[in-house]
Amino acid sequence: MTKEELLHLLHQMTTQEKCRELMQLPMEAFTDTDISTGPCEDLELTDEKMAQVGSILSLTGAEWTRKVQEEHLKNNRLNIPLLFMADIINGYKTIFPIPLAQGCTFDPDLVRQLAEAAAREGAAAGVHVTFSPMADLVRDPRWGRVMESTGEDPYLNGIMAEQMVKGYQGDDLKEEGRLAACVKHFAGYGAPLGGREYNQVELSERTLLEDYLPAYEKAVRAGARLVMSSFNTLERVPSTGNRKLMREILRGKMGFQGVLISDYAAVKELIAHGLAENEAEAARLALEAGVDIDMMSRCYSDFLCGQIERGEVAQELLDEAVLRVLELKNDLGLFENPFKDGSPEKEKELLLCEKHRSLAQRAAEESFVLLKNEENMLPLSKEETTAFIGPFGEEKGLLGAWALFADREDTVTMKEGVERLCPGQIWAKGCEILEPGQKWLRGYIPITEETWKQTAETAEEKLIEAVEAAGKADRVVLLLGEQELESGESGSCGRIGLPPSQMKLLKAVVQVNPNLVLVVFSGRPLILTEACAYAKAVLFAWMPGTQGGPAVANVLYGCSNPSGKLTETFPYHMGQIPVYYSDFATGRPQMPGYIDIPKEPLYPFGYGLSYTEYAYSPVKLDQKVLDSQTDVIHASVRVKNTGSMEGREAVQLYIQDVKGSVSRPVRQLKGFQKISLAPGEEKEVRFEIREEMLRFWTIDMEYRSEPGQFRVWIGTDSRTENGEEFYLR
């Protein structure tokens, strides 16, 4: 449709129809026989409302979306097609590693390919919009949604979010296999106080602008078609009613022109936040703030119309919101083809196809972080007998909390992966993932009475069996970690570490066999200080996805060399949180920070070992003074693979502004490149340093650089001391 035709359509709509166009309903509204209960209970749905609604959440599957769309078009007076939106976060049916693990690949090109594959599958299943990427910066691993972020660094998060947007959307949303991307959660959702889900956020304006907003902005400037408001408050104003945040910053400064959708029921939650007295006021505040779609409440659908007709809310605000939604539908080509790419044949061809599975496996292998490897514990030898012990041996829950549409039966387990590669090893479960007696997951998902009873009753037997297995083997690989739903939304945890029964297993096993390799599956960084002291090698496998088993097996047996690096600091102790690399020096940087625990984390940002070794030459700068704004310094190192195995290394560039009108971080990531090196091979890695990279929010709240001295380091992680100095004139 042309713009004129869209405007014509808009003018044909009644005010009531417009308000309902902005409502998003859950799939239950179209699938449950009784819509007076469950998530639909408060929506007071009627046939008329449903015929006028504009979009649906979480309804997927080619046949199903087609049926619902056909029915809708019969009932909708103006034939406006529905938008199908879903959380396709790390894959649809083929599940890739969780976003945090994707960040650890330090490979933006690979991350884009994963988004492309996820979009191909989602589009085949009739979906139009994915609620990804999550560009929230996270520095508190207690917060469950750390799994959905790419980590603690604004620069890296921005690059990854940008690549995800490009991967989902391509150049044209009408192209086959594309989804519109929705950047979330605007803004600052990743910084809830105490790591407590949905909690208030307290950030200085500078920290917000400099650290938290850039990744969203990068995704917006990459063309993301939607943005989602966050649940939290910023400066005590909930985002969904925050006019300054949405109109001035997002639409004004960042130039966002797409659709702004509220998070789940967040418009109505303005009442609980104490911002609105009732649903009518909540609707007005959200619309005035610039929120176009009301996900999962009836504030817009039931309470806007009257206010518009009485002139209490400006008609133009409603019209501009509806027009944005119609434009999105138009750009997806839905007026011509309301089913877009949804097709059962395409589903058969694409979902879980070999190409996607092998991509999933490669990504998983690239995302694992080797935290420790003493006495060459890894790789394992096929000549030796290994006992694989732990509750993750046959676990299919390796997908993470957002694999909403995947079937766990499609996961290839650790045992299957190892048996394909090196059959005949010893297996024992040792314990359950969850503690005996643990009744709840993520705050509200109850575990059945039966499950935890069984857990308690058989615990001792399992432990004895495991210790026996350990005694019979040359080496032990312990497979421990978090249950896949322990991190994710509402998955804030006060204790982040291996649970007591898993630690008990570890300690019992190490007594009989000290050749211990620990593999950890988790959605978040865990405090592994004690566990790492017992194990000779530690591989962090995150939630690796559908091909998790074979990917871990490949890395353990050295068919693949680990190259992941942490994008989220691993604390030494809970009391250090928040702990992150780009901190500020105090006036007394030499002081220890605490009297009872170290100041340093267990493993820093950027850290990760390999089966080979890399030697870095000193940093070379082609000039020491950056002269004008168009000038560039080339900073380079030579990196040599001095070991005997081919490997990939994420070479990282950090910069420190030594003195500014406000204190500057001790160092900040400003570049990285992932390179491959054969044994003995050496490559030059070159970075450009330009004036724009040195800008920050000065004492006068201007975004610019200040002349003076800078330090630059290029190395293997954020602790590298391989540095040089230069001056900006």
Q: Which residues are catalytic?
A: 263
Whose CA is closest to 629, among 693, 690, 540, 579? 690
112-131 binders of ligand BGC (CB under 6 A): 131
Contact 150, 204 (CB under 8 A): no
How many residues touch ligand BGC under the rule CB under 6 A: the total is 7
Minimum Å distance from CB 6 to ligand BGC?
Answer: 27
Q: Is 184 in the site for ligand BGC (CB under 6 A)?
A: yes
Q: Nearest to ligand BGC by Cβ — which residue? A: 131
Nearer to ligand BGC, 28 or 489 (CB): 489
Q: Measured between alpha carbons, how far is 506 from 152 in angstroms, rounded to an integer? A: 30
708 DSSP β-pair partners: 728
Q: Measured between alpha carbons, how far is 726 from 694 in angstroms, rounded to an integer? A: 12
| CB-based burial, 12-31: b 16+ in 10 Å, e otherwise | ebebbbbbbbbbbbbbbbbe
CA triple 387-393-398, angle to 5 deg: 145
Nearer to ligand BGC, 163 or 230 (CB): 230
Distance, CA of 277 to chain centre = 34
Minimum Å distance from CB 620 to ligand BGC?
Answer: 45
Nearer to ligand BGC, 87 or 365 (CB): 87
Q: Measured between alpha carbons, how far is 239 from 694 in angstroms, rounded to an integer? A: 30
Q: Name the phi and psi angles at 709, rounded to 5.
A: -90, 140
Q: Is 489 in the site for ligand BGC (CB under 6 A)?
A: yes
Whose CA is closest to 442, among 151, 150, 145? 145
Nearer to ligand BGC, 41 or 468 (CB): 41
How many Cβ atoms are within 10 Å of 36's Cβ, its own excluded? 10
Q: Is 269 in the site for ligand BGC (CB under 6 A)?
A: no
Considering only 21, 28, 87, 292, the residue that binds ligand BGC (CB under 6 A) is: 87
Q: Is 136 in the site for ligand BGC (CB under 6 A)?
A: no
22-81 binders of ligand BGC (CB under 6 A): 57
525-564 binders of ligand BGC (CB under 6 A): none
DSSP SS3 for 194: helix
Minimum Å distance from CB 484 to ligand BGC?
Answer: 17
Nearer to ligand BGC, 263 or 292 (CB): 263
Nearer to ligand BGC, 88 or 633 (CB): 88
Per residue, the 3-state secondary structure of 569-581, as one string, reads CECCCHHHCCCCC
Q: Is 696 in the site for ligand BGC (CB under 6 A)?
A: no
684 DSSP β-pair partners: 638
Contact track, ligand BGC, 417-446, x by CB under 6 A: ------------------------------
Beta strands per DSSP E along 187-279: 226-229, 233-234, 237-238, 259-261
Minimum Å distance from CB 128 to ligand BGC?
Answer: 14
Nearer to ligand BGC, 55 or 455 (CB): 55
Considering only 263, 649, 657, 691, the residue that binds ligand BGC (CB under 6 A) is: 263
Q: Is 256 in the site for ligand BGC (CB under 6 A)?
A: no
Q: Is 402 in the site for ligand BGC (CB under 6 A)?
A: no
Minimum Å distance from CB 667 to ligand BGC?
Answer: 31
280-319 binders of ligand BGC (CB under 6 A): none
Minimum Å distance from CB 199 to ligand BGC?
Answer: 14
Contact 98, 150 (CB under 8 A): no
Q: Give the residues lining the site for ligand BGC (CB under 6 A).
A: 57, 87, 131, 184, 263-264, 489
